[in-house]
Every structure is written in structure tokens, then in C-alpha cells.
Amino acid sequence: MDSRRFARSGSVGVFAGLKMRGRSHIVSLHNWSPGGVCVDLPGAAKLGERVHIVSGSLRGSGRIVWMAAGRAGIEFDL
């Protein structure tokens, strides 16, 4: 059973701008929901780190809540 609060939408071939520690990165966006996103992660990010992401009309600020195999889950501030 999937215990997510929000249904996810896939995002094949979609990129996003990710701002972390005052630096901007272009990252692959794997999926998104009103509650957060899954992205490929640049460099040495840490759990709990604050980020801002933009992709088209999708804009959000939040924190990294999980990391695995070069990807990260970002939970938006709601």
C-alpha cells in the first residue's frame, strides 16, 4: 500500500532549476505532487537541507527528506 499523502505525476525528460546553498543547478525531475518532488541530486546534499525548485509553473521551497541512489525527495513547505 502506498502511504503518500499526494498522488505523484511522472515527469520523463523534464528538468528543473534547483537552488541549494545559494547555488543554482539544473536537475532531472522524476515525479512531482502538490507535496513535493523527486529529483536527481547534485553534489553533496544533506538530509534536512533547504532548497527551492522551479520547473515551468511548478515552484516550491522545502527540505530534502530522503536520499538514495543519486536521487532525493524534497518535501514542500505547506
Distance CA 61, CA 1 (A): 28
Burial class (CB in 10 A: 0-12, 13-18, 19+), 28: middle
Report pTM. Answer: 0.81
State pLDDT tens for residues 14-69. Answer: 899 999 999 999 999 998 888 999 999 877 789 999 999 999 888 999 999 999 99
For the chain, what are the domain ranges?
9-76
Q: Which CATH number fits domain 9-76: 2.40.10.220, 3.30.530.20, 1.10.10.60, 3.40.50.620?
A: 2.40.10.220
d(CA 3, CA 15): 26
